[in-house]
Amino acid sequence: MPWHEERTIVWEAYREILRKGLVAGASGNVSLRLAEGSRTDLLAITPSKRTLHSINAEDIVVIDFAGNQVDGELIPSIESMMHIEIYKARPEIHAVVHTHSIYASSLAVAGIPLPPILDELIPYTGGEIRVADYGFPSTDDLARHAVEALKDRRVAFLRNHGVVCAAQSVEAAVALSELVERAAHIYVLAKLMGNPQMLPEGIIEVEKNIYRMMNSQFH
Ligand SMILES: [Zn+2]
């Protein structure tokens, strides 16, 4: 099977986000940018409408940036366009994880960005997590709005839908999905208790610089 190792990484990440409760049933999707000779327009992605228990690593689909199926039998994720547009816009990004985790999705439904509230957040996200304009699932609109909300950051909320995390590896994208869900949970609880406090402005700048420094290593 071509790209066996990469497909296994994607399949295991899908298992991981299900195990962590970040998605349910056949929702959510994971992809990994592939390199094949001179081709730089390929990705391995989870198939559409298949629960984890009904697929194996070989069912992970390989497609190109035009959406053409390159390898694999199943239909690729309906959110393939979003993954492709992120890879096209962000050369440093090698993996994308999309989840419907409860607290992050709650903020996406409420239209509330996640501000810089925790030290552990900004070095990995790049700053406040913005809420993308609404786009119907699977459409160009959803893909475009996700890219716009991400800009140079790693995470965006998809309005009335869920979350998308982009990183330099699948492992990092999964870890980011979990980190964001925990932060969203904490923020929702803090809002219920009163007036959540932001990090001091100077600290936010220091942490944004850490993000930029970590990011520049991969360009
Ligand atoms: Zn979704």
CATH number for the domain harbouring residue 10: 3.40.225.10
pTM over 0.85: yes
Q: How many angstroms is it from 219 CA to the middle of ligand 1?
A: 29
Q: How many angstroms is it from 207 CA to the middle of ligand 1?
A: 30
Please list, in sequence order, all residues whose beta carbon lies within 8 angstroms of the beta carbon of residue 29, skipping any fewer than 6 positions away.
14, 45, 46, 77, 79, 83, 97, 98
| Euclidean distance between CA atoms 176 and 17, whole angstroms | 11
| Euclidean distance between CA atoms 166 and 184, whole angstroms | 17
Q: How many angstroms is it from 205 CA to the middle of ligand 1?
A: 32
**Region 193-198 average pLDDT:** 93
pLDDT beyond 90 at 49: no
Q: How many angstroms is it from 31 CA to the middle of ligand 1?
A: 13
Mean of the per-residue pLDDT values of the chain: 94
Residues involved in catalysis: 79
**Region 7-35 average pLDDT:** 93
Question: Collapsing DSSP states into helix, strand and coil, what is residue 154?
Answer: coil
Total domains, the chain = 1
| Surrounding residues of ion ligand 1, Cβ less than 5 A | 162
Confidence category of residue 82, pLDDT binned at 50, 70, 90: very high
* pLDDT tens-place string over residues 142-173: 999 999 999 999 999 999 999 999 999 999 99
pLDDT beyond 80 at 217: no
Residue 218 pLDDT: 58
Residue 57 pLDDT: 92
State which residues form the domain around 210.
Answer: 4-216
